[in-house]
Structure 1
Amino acid sequence: MKRSTLFFLVSIFLGILLLGNLFTWAIFRADTFRSSIDWEKYSNPYKRNTTLKLQKTGIHLHTNRTWFTPGRNTPEEIETIYAANGYKILGFTDYERITSPDSPKLAQIKGFEWGTNLRKRHMSVLGLEEASYDLFPLYADPENLQWVIDKLRSKDGFVVINHPLLNESFPLRLLSQLKEYDALEVMSPFGDIPKFWDKLLSEKRPSFCMASDDLHYLPREEYLRVRTSGIPNWRDLSSEIYKQEGESLMRYLLVNTDSLDEREVLRSLKEGNYLCVRKMERSLEEPKLGPIGLNSENEIHFDFEDTPISVDFIGQNSEILSHTSYQNKGSYRLKPTDLYVRVQVVYPTAVILSNPFFQKP
């Protein structure tokens, strides 16, 4: 094919893409004005007492089921490794498709990752039967993104803003304009951003936390444990050549739920009835925790089995309102001036974040 012909075809393709994005930009828009906030929802995320406590949950996991990611792991390989490390619930989130293992060993939450655009604006969407496609590959303004969030929420999806600082995809100014997303990926392989989260919470932009591996490859040592014998495939060669380390088994949720049924798990996620965890290293022991909650005396309290190095009660603008060291029990009484308080726990092996307790106006 001549270079001029190739250039012509590429120009035609880009022109169609640009015109299509211009059309979607003009048509698919929603108001970002926030008329009211359901403060009751955010006042005590741990209010509901559940039958099962702190069920280990992995969200934001990619597989080889998407055509343009053939070198990744199968859902079955990922599930085998995560099951061996104590996980009870998994949510695969391939790009714009729903993925499930053929014979699941663990409880599953259906999900996908929205976003195939130049800015890497990605959202994990949980609980829907069908995936939605990104209609804004080149450009989207806040009203376009709000239209996407509204559409996903109208189908009862749980919407997570993924890695907001990657490629400055969701800067603070943009997230301050958006509304009704459920959670923000505060812990990811691209960095921990609790202070960024605090800035949004301090502006009365409430959301729950999310901790995710954003798994693209299992670490080589983990993959070798589940690899089947036979003629080497592309995944085997990729693992040998590139020695992929992956980011598995590091970041997860501990969900309180009445059962491992998908509807019950989603109910707990939408209530914020879970903790976000990042381990210091995937092979380390996990701390034994216990309840965090709000009692009738307006005290946020904790009671852990293992004694942490520190527990901080954190308020507006990341201010430490109260600090304890080497105590497995403690509490903080909310003051009238506290907009919100969240709990941050540090162990030698892990960091744990609670969801925020907002005071109702």
Structure 2
Amino acid sequence: MKKRIFFLLCALLLGMVLLENLYTWIFLKADPTLAQAKIEWARFENPYKRKTSLSWQKAAIHLHTDRIWFTPGRNSPEEIETVYAANGYKILGFTDYERITLPEKLSSIKGYEWGMNLKKRHLTVLGTEEVTNDLFPIYASVENMQWMINKIGSQGGFIVINHPLLNDSFPLKILSELKNYNALEVFSPFGDIPKQWDKLLSNKVPSFCMASDDLHYLPREEYIRIKTSGLPNWRDLSSEIYKQEGESLMRYVLINTDSLEESEVLKSLREGNYLCVRKMERTLQDPKLGPIGMKGEEEIFFEFQDTPLTVEFIGQNSEVLLHTAYSKRGSYKIRPSDSYVRIQAIFPTAVVLSNPFFPKK
């Protein structure tokens, strides 16, 4: 009898979820083709136009903590902050599932990860005071996702499409149709997608890059290094049992900003005034960089402190427009036929991506 009641309650709950998702699928829609007309092309012309007081401040975005009830074995905000601060990070963005969590010591950006659905269509949302819940747990069409992006955008959120390759959650066709998101997770532990990003840019679907650890667990050796003594907790047990090999200290962004205040950091993110970095291995040194920008209205340049193995200026459909090797300085003059140009630098320790420059229209 008790089993029957249990299964009836489960069936009732599932039925309610299905009915709710049916309602949201039918009524909560937005046409992505209408969003196309809203693109402000001028803000993509030169992401590095604004000169700032601070340059290349190291930031980690998309970090999960133990503050959600169903993730008790993950690291605490204090543990994550300790490890990242020791490795030169100045800004953190915790993105727990539909919950805002803030670090205590480092500068922070309020954020959360939207998405509690079967397809694992997740978005990083930064800079909002409130959390928007996932109304499409079973299924969402492109029109449903556009509606949600528009809603979060109307609240002032900086929106990143997370890990497109995970569960094939955002195939290229869907990414090509969606509009009004700010950035795309080009560097992710679930797969790097610079060529897919190029295809979107080539099809006039502009976005900035994002590089994220998508941290779920600190690697065991890093956790042991900073753990405090005391009674064993969930994290101690899971670390011993599963020998977790979490992703940390591998993917980050370097932001030009006037201060480490949230409003200033968000301003720079919206401008694309930052770089995306993926290290070859977490223990390697960070590459030492310098200014990237434009001379006049046509010449894109870079100046680095460390010597890169190669620097490439990349354009339409991933075409290499100019290739340099072992050069700390270089430039490329935009041609009339170039639809966009981005810089890709490979160092012995890391790969660095600039955001795209779009010629004036």
Give the TM-score taking structure 2 as reference length: 0.98
Secondary structure, aligned partner of 1:156: coil
How far off its partner does 1:7 sit? 2.6
Aligned: 1:291 with 2:291: yes
Structure 1: stretches of 5+ with no match in the other structure: none
One-letter amino acid of the structure 1 residue matched with residue 345 of structure 2: V
Q: Which residue of structure 2 lines up, in the alignment, with residue 303 of structure 1?
A: 303
Q: Distance in 1 between matches of 2:177 and 2:192?
A: 22
Q: Which amino acid aligns with 1:136?
A: F
**2: CA distance, partners of 1:100 / 1:240:** 27
- For 1:205, the aligned partner's letter is V
For 1:256 and 1:317, the matched residues in 2 are separated by 28
Q: Report the Cα offset of residue 37 of structure 1.
A: 2.2
Q: 1:211 maps to which residue?
A: 211
Pairing partner for 1:94 from 74, 78, 96: 96
- 1:109-120 mapped onto 2 (5 Å cutoff): 109-120=109-120
* Residue pair 1:39, 1:359 contacting (<8 A) in 2 also: no
Tell me which amino acid in the other structure corresponds to 1:61.
L
Q: Distance in 1 between matches of 2:319 and 2:10?
A: 53
For 2:279, the equivalent position in structure 1 comes to 279
Question: Deviation string for 1:302-336 (max 9, x for gaps)?
Answer: 00011100000000111101000000000000000
Q: What is the one-letter code of the residue matched to 2:8?
A: F
Match of 1:325 in 2: 325
Query: What is aligned with 2:61?
Result: 59
Q: Distance in 1 between matches of 2:199 and 2:5?
A: 51
Q: TM-score, normalised to structure 1's length?
A: 0.98
Rounded to whole Å, the distance in 2 between the matches of 1:7 and 1:357 is 57
Query: Which one-letter code corresponds to 2:279 in the other structure?
Result: K
Matched position secondary structure for 1:191: coil
- Name 1:129's counterpart in structure 2: 129
User: Over aligned residues, Cα RMSD in angstroms?
Assistant: 0.9
The answer for unaligned runs of 5 or more in structure 2 is none
Instruction: Tell whether 2:28 aligns with 1:28.
Output: yes
Contact preservation (8 Å) 1:112, 1:131? yes
1:50 alignment partner, one of 49, 52, 57:
52
Partner of 2:77: 75
Q: Per the alignment, in what secondary structure is the counterpart of residue 286 of structure 2?
A: coil
Residues 197-237 of structure 1 show CA distances to partners (whole Å, capped at 9, x for unaligned) of: 00100100000000000000001111112211111111101
Tell me which moved more, 223-232 or 38-47.
223-232
Displacement after TM superposition at 1:168 (Å): 1.0
Conserved? CA contact 1:211–1:276, under 8 Å: yes
- Secondary structure, in 3 states, of the residue corresponding to 2:32? coil
- After the TM superposition, which residues 148-159 of structure 1 pair with which residues of structure 2 at under 5 Å, given as runs? 148-159=148-159
Q: Which residue of 2 aligns with 1:261?
A: 261
SS in 2 for 1:209: strand
Residue 3 of structure 1 and its aligned partner are, at CA, apart by 3.7
* CA drift at 1:97: 0.5
Supply the distance in 1 between the matched residues of 2:253 and 2:297 (Cα, whole angstroms).
Answer: 28
Query: Per-residue deviation at 1:291?
Result: 0.8
Offset, 1:297: 5.1
Deviation at 1:6, TM superposition (A): 2.8
How far, CA to CA, are the matches of 2:263 and 2:38 in structure 1? 27
Q: Displacement, 1:25? A: 1.2
Q: Which amino acid letter does the alignment assign opposite residue 156 of structure 2?
A: D
**CA shift digits 1:137-175 (9 cap, x unpaired):** 001111111111111111111000000111111111111
Partner of 1:315: 315
Amino-acid identity (%): 69
CA distance in 1, matches of 2:137, 2:170: 15
Structure 1: 4+ residue segments shifted above 6 A: none
Q: Is the 8 A contact 1:297 1:333 kept in 2?
A: no
Query: How far, CA to CA, are the matches of 2:130 and 2:73 in structure 1?
Result: 24
Alignment partner of 1:193 is 2:193: yes
Cα shift at 1:294: 1.1
Q: Secondary structure at the match of 1:351?
A: strand
Equivalent-residue separation in structure 2 for 1:342 and 1:278 (angstroms): 16
Aligned residues: 359
User: In structure 2, what residue type is equivalent to 1:262?
Assistant: E
Offset of 1:36 from its aligned partner? 4.2
